[in-house]
Amino acid sequence: METVEMNSVSLKRPRSEDDVANADEIKRQKISEKSKTGNDSGQSVETVTDQPDKSLLEDTKNEIIPNEESEEQEDEELEDSDEDGDPESFADMMKHGLTESDVGITKFVSSHKGFSGILKERYSDFVVHEIGKDGRVSHLDDFSVPVDDEDPSEETFTVLSDEDKQRLEELQLLKNKETSVAIEVIEDTKEKRTVIHQAVKSLFPGLETKTEDRDGKKYIIAYHAAGKKALANPRKHSWPKSRGSYCHFVLYKENKDTMDAINVLSKFLRVKPNIFSYMGTKDKRAITVQEIAVLRITAQRLAHLNKCLMNFKLGNFSYKNHPLKLGELQGNHFTVVLRNITGTDDQIEQAMHSLREIGFINYYGMQRFGTTAVPTYQIGRAILQNNWNEVMDLILKPRPGAEKGYLVKCREEWAKTKDPAAALKKLPVKRCVEGQLLRGLLKYGMKNIISAFGIIPRNNRLMYIHSYQSYVWNNMVSKRIEEYGLRAVPGDLTLKGATAVHIEEGDVDNYTIHDVVMPLPGFDVIYPKHKIGEAYKEMLVADNLDINNMRHKIRDYSLSGAYRKIIIRPQNVNW
């Protein structure tokens, strides 16, 4: 078995519908380092190195959005039952999905033949470890909990009998039909009752408690928290001043994307998902290890989730005074298995040497743009144009290609009635972006789409406009390589520290293509001083946008821009 440890694998997408129709052919991708390849780094200069290329094969629409209300087991079952889809529906979806050329990915770094293989046949074929901005690789290797005087007493962990714990766990995981569990208080004192309340809430996140009298005896009743109120605030207990407000931890996850994982954590902790922060979203079809921060949730509470979550583990807890920011990472370390290799040893060696020596074009990968017939960059463009009816229409309208049945019905209902309540009824899983937007329309009315759209978590809203920036960047880089090839030319941009400067005629021999950056459009960047600078302007004019006015009247949607290297040479490539 060939094992590749490296910072990017390039993929070439099949071009014709005939290719796509065959499910086996979909899996077979050209792994060629003449290849164009994408990654999904954040929007700042530090994040453009050594970021992942992601499989074109997975459904990375990334439109799973956390629900403010309690979620039912039915949601989980509906989502899990259709995890990867059968090959026919997947092939059908890809017929209507995007191709690389649709998003500007058209150029290669070299001209050798390359080889083919299957990427991510198993999710364990793709292992990702995040690299922090200090260069430290994230590993989950410590399950101990930092202790302080404010944590619940040890009695909290011993006051419940094994039988009580069994019943509470079944209730917490919705494993039986019971809606509550009653625990008799044998030695009835206020102190004893307080310890039992604390124990249930600490050990079984997701459950609430109350005291009831039954036949002259006191019982603590445990039940599932429900509704917005339960999710509104992290526990109201005071937080020690000496302790950092954010608990940072390492999250190990299997076969779940980052936003999905945060959904699950927030549901079990009964908090809103927006109190979590992270530096980058990681692939779904993979084993990944990354750092997460959460506001005012104790390490103790987080550690107890290890007992009840499948395919997740949390550890390496510490308290700090800051959250994490998207893009604040150096990159990722990948261990990738490619199966069913077709190609000679020479072709493989040639491709791998090209990857190590030249690198790859730093395109934003397909996961940036969604998998359905409505690409995310189109929604981003409509936001920047301030065209809110178009935003609503693009998210909710029917579209070709395979989608889960309930989404198809929801879209059909919307097209027929334009009634958010009726469309919402067709949607058993409310955590998708469509459900969020419909709930917003129900709450704020059809004349206030901006507020309705604002219900969607901020990171997810910004994803749309970042997708448009990425779309422009990919197209401009392809034009730049078409026009000037893989060498630095006068008028190109390079970075001096964090500041972009133009490369002058007399200075051009001091630079290579590895020094050249291109801007993501925004109000705080400069553009190349050659034909490509004009091409940026023309592309935005065609989209009814003004490159000299990238500020939006809603501050969140103002784009400052950033710079990103054209070519990335991954470090420590071996195979």
Which residues have CB under 8 Å from 241's CB, separation 6+? Answer: none
Nearest by Cα to 331 from 564, 56, 42: 42
Range with the poorest average pLDDT among 364-368, 382-386, 514-518? 364-368
Tally of residues, the chain? 575
Report yes or no: 182 and 221 within 8 Å, Cβ to Cβ: yes
Asked whether the predicted pLDDT for residue 82 surpasses 50, the reply is no
Tokens 């422009």, residue? 472
pLDDT tens per residue, range 342-371: 989 999 999 999 999 999 999 998 878 886
Q: What does the DSSP assignment read for 253-317?
A: EES--HHHHHHHHHHHHTS-GGGEEES----SSSEEEEEEEEET--HHHHHHGGGT-SSEEEEEE
Say what angle helices 376-384 and 458-484 make with each other, to 10 degrees.
Answer: 100
Asked whether the predicted pLDDT for residue 76 surpasses 90, the reply is no
- Active-site residue set: 283
pLDDT tens per residue, range 189-199: 888 888 888 88
pLDDT tens per residue, range 401-412: 767 888 899 999
Give the pLDDT mean for 454-468: 89
pLDDT tens per residue, range 263-273: 899 988 888 88
pLDDT at 96: 59
Q: How far apart are the C-alpha atoms of 313 and 307, rounded to whole Å? A: 9
Rounded percentage of the chain residues whose pLDDT exceeds 70:
79
Q: How far apart are the C-alpha atoms of 314 and 306, rounded to whole Å? A: 6
Tokens in use for 404? 């889960």
pLDDT tens per residue, range 241-280: 888 999 999 999 999 988 889 989 998 888 888 899 999 8
**DSSP SS3 for 422:** helix
Give just the sign of the alpha carbon dihedral 9, 564, 541, 373: positive
pLDDT at 43: 25
Give the pLDDT mean for 216-237: 63
Tell me whether residue 300 is exposed, middle or buried, using C-beta atoms within 10 angstroms of its C-beta: 0 to 12, 13 to 18, 19 or more.
Answer: buried
Say what angle helices 190-203 and 162-172 make with each other, to 10 degrees.
Answer: 50
Give the pLDDT mean for 484-505: 94
Report yes or no: 324 and 278 within 8 Å, Cβ to Cβ: yes
For residue 72, how many other CB atoms are within 10 A of its CB? 15
Asked whether the predicted pLDDT for residue 493 surpasses 90, the reply is yes
Give the residue with greater pLDDT, 169 vs 15.
169
Tokens in use for 271? 């908090």
Supply the pTM of this predicted model. 0.66
Range with the poorest average pLDDT among 183-187, 424-428, 486-490? 183-187
pLDDT at 157: 67
pLDDT tens per residue, range 35-67: 444 443 332 222 222 333 333 222 333 332 333
pLDDT at 62: 30
Give the residue with greater pLDDT, 54 vs 455.
455
pLDDT tens per residue, range 139-180: 999 999 987 666 666 666 678 888 888 888 788 777 777 788
